[in-house]
Chains A and B, each alone.
Chain A
Amino acid sequence: MDYFLSEEQLMIKELCAQIAQEKVVPVRAELDEKEEFPWEIMKVMAGSDLFGLFIPEEYGGLGKGSFELAIAVEELSKACVGVSTTYAANALGTYPILLFGTDEQKKKYLPDIAAGKRLVAFGLTEANAGSDAGGIQTTARLEGDHYVINGTKQWITNGGEAEIYTVVAITDRSKGARGASAFIVEKDTPGFSFGKKEKKMGIRASATRELVFEDCRVPKENLISREGMGFLVAMKTLDSSRVGVGAQGVGVAQGALDEAVKFARQRVQFGHPVIGFQAIQHMIADMATEIEAARALVYAAARYADSGAKDVTKVSSMAKLFATDVAMRVTTNAVQVMGGSGYMREYPVEKMMRDAKILQIYEGTNQIQRNVIAQNIIKEAAKAK
């Protein structure tokens, strides 16, 4: 299907497809097997200007939007969601600075991020604060010119590898949700260390680690926006990044379908390539149709966000929910189409199926997305009265 991409958008797509093909496909199985962080690939992407894609030109980026980022993430995800998660989580960690940072903060951090010199991570989740971000226990206390941070963040993508962390901590517990604040913490700050590195089902090239803060003192000017804005920063950040998770779903689903079709054309049973059998054809037709619907929704949501619309929450949740549920179904069926071969690590679809699962979980489970969508519909209905 033609989505009428501009010349520049086509360039981004081609370049990411080239990187995926030449640099990611040959190493993805090994990175998965060894749980190895894809530094080499990140360096190539930095050299290709891809870290600056969504950063304004005045801070050394290319000044593109969610749509271009979605295209890039989709192409990378066709090859490996572990790699695309590393790249997308960098954007996730950058959004708090991009959306709420002061000009000084932007000048200090964005040019390095755009050049791919310093990787970023976003620290929200904790042991008792996942879907319920209200359960955050990490605290930040103002002492003179510094905030003193204490607590532990869990399952932080790019943890340990990134050099810049945007972290949400409670500055005033009595205010509930309005008592959270967001901070920029640099890697070598005393009192900031890394805990356990997680072993995961999928996206094993991506690093997932604890962030440990023990009387970690960060300069006052590292506060993002104002005290009490932490939840808003987090929610707006997730609004911006969610479409990217949808794009990961579209990408991995397409990658799995392509493998399944290739295999089904070659695999001969009962004297025919199995793609000639209607049972396989109907599965493939459903997979392809669902992917196209998911892509159309993700692209529409990204374009809506780039239009400057304020109420992107509902549509970005829909895009994330639908595209990642499609990704799980399609990757599972790609394994099914390929039968025993699909289940073997010799072929890439078993990894795609393992990788797809996280998309239904991270950046808000798909159950939470349904809550968010419903809440927005209720709000709209109430307003319409």
Chain B
Amino acid sequence: MRIAVCIKQVPDTAEVRINRETGTLVREGVPSIINPYDTHAIEAALSLKEKLGGTVCTVTMGPPQAEASLREAVSLGVDEVFLVTGREFAGADTLATACALSGVIKKIGADLIICGKQAIDGDTAQVGPEVAEFLDIPHVSYVKKIIEATPESIRVERMMDDGSDIVEASLPALITVVRELNTPRLPSLKGKMNAKKAEIKKMGAAELGLPLEVVGFNGSPTQVKKIFTPGPRGGRKKFEGSLEEQIDALVNELVEKKCL
């Protein structure tokens, strides 16, 4: 089986600061890490490879320094890594990002694509499903357990607000995964040594056969207008008094509002 994992290099949120004037993240001087959800995607791919054989490749889009996250993936045991990079990709929203990532996957081929459920910087959870749409394959998001995987299909348990679903999909398919799925491994020394000399295969829009109007800023129907910290939500009420009094007051309020 050939498994592709899409990863994103993100600022280490433990160290992040916000520029008060622009409302954007200050990325200068902040260490970068692999998006934590994506580390679970890598782990899932590597353990499937250990069971079923095959290869695992990792794809990311970003500036040249995103190479570091790909090398880290190699240190964990990933076989091949691809970097989508070039000025033409700057300013991409989720759609343009998914377009570029799916372009690589079309080129290199994959039976199963695994993504983290979302990135901790943008938090959109859109790119994974969008990649599946570009590839015209099924996807299952928020996977917390891989029940069975064969070269033809995959059966997984996905998290829902009110419990979980068991879903089977034929391959090729894409899944996005949550933290509950597994515990990511640490790198090995041999892996770290391989990572040093690993070849990073770089691709631009031309190599991917993508027209310039579908990638980067030009291919992005959404633009960031303003980034701000939302103010506190209004309409809150605090009940005081003993526990019984608070409960009575709450019940009365709910009855009044016709909630009960």
In Å, the complex CA distance between A1 and B128 comes to: 46
- Quick check: A8 and B188 within 8 Å, CB to CB? no
Nearest-CB distance from B12 to chain A (Å)?
A: 14
Query: In residues 163-212 of chain B, which contact A (Cβ within 8 Å)?
Result: 185-193, 196
Among A41-49, A93-101, A155-163, A333-341, the one that faces the other chain is A41-49
Chain B residues in 8 Å Cβ range of A22: 186
Nearest-CB distance from A88 to chain B (Å)?
A: 17
Nearest-CB distance from B237 to chain A (Å)?
A: 39
Query: In residues 41-86 of chain A, which contact B (Cβ within 8 Å)?
Result: 44, 47-50, 53, 62
In the complex, what residue of chain A is closest to B189 when comparing beta carbons? A49
Chain B residues in 8 Å Cβ range of A12: 189
A19: CB under 8 A from chain B?
Answer: yes
Chain B residues in 8 Å Cβ range of A53: 189
- Quick check: A15 and B186 within 8 Å, CB to CB? yes
- Quick check: A47 and B189 within 8 Å, CB to CB? no
- Quick check: A19 and B193 within 8 Å, CB to CB? no
Mostly helix, strand, loop or mixed at chain B's interface?
helix
In Å, the complex CA distance between A14 and B190 comes to: 14
Nearest-CB distance from A298 to chain B (Å)?
A: 21
In the complex, what residue of chain B is closest to A12 when comparing beta carbons? B189
A103: CB under 8 A from chain B?
Answer: no
Give the interface size class of chain A. Answer: 10 to 19
- Quick check: B190 and A47 within 8 Å, CB to CB? no
- Quick check: A47 and B188 within 8 Å, CB to CB? yes
Chain A residues in 8 Å Cβ range of B191: 49
- Quick check: B190 and A62 within 8 Å, CB to CB? yes
Chain B residues in 8 Å Cβ range of A374: none
Mostly helix, strand, loop or mixed at chain A's interface?
helix
A4-40 near B? 1/0 per residue, CB < 8 Å: 0001100110010011001100000000000000000
In the complex, what residue of chain A is closest to B192 when comparing beta carbons? A11
User: B187 contacts which of A7, A23, A48, A62 (Cβ < 8 Å)?
Assistant: A48
In Å, the complex CA distance between A47 and B190 comes to: 10
User: B188 contacts which of A7, A23, A48 (Cβ < 8 Å)?
Assistant: A48
- Quick check: B189 and A11 within 8 Å, CB to CB? yes
Chain B residues in 8 Å Cβ range of A48: 186-189
In Å, the complex CA distance between A62 and B188 comes to: 11
- Nearest first, the 8 closest Cβ-Cβ pairs linking A and B are A49-B189, A49-B188, A11-B192, A48-B188, A49-B190, A48-B186, A44-B186, A62-B189
Q: Pick 19 A–B contacts, CB within 8 A, sort by A.
A: A7-B196, A8-B193, A11-B193, A12-B189, A15-B186, A15-B189, A15-B192, A18-B187, A22-B186, A23-B186, A47-B185, A47-B188, A48-B186, A48-B187, A48-B189, A49-B189, A49-B190, A53-B189, A62-B190
Could you list which residues of chain B lie within 8 angstroms of chain A, going by C-beta atoms? 185-193, 196
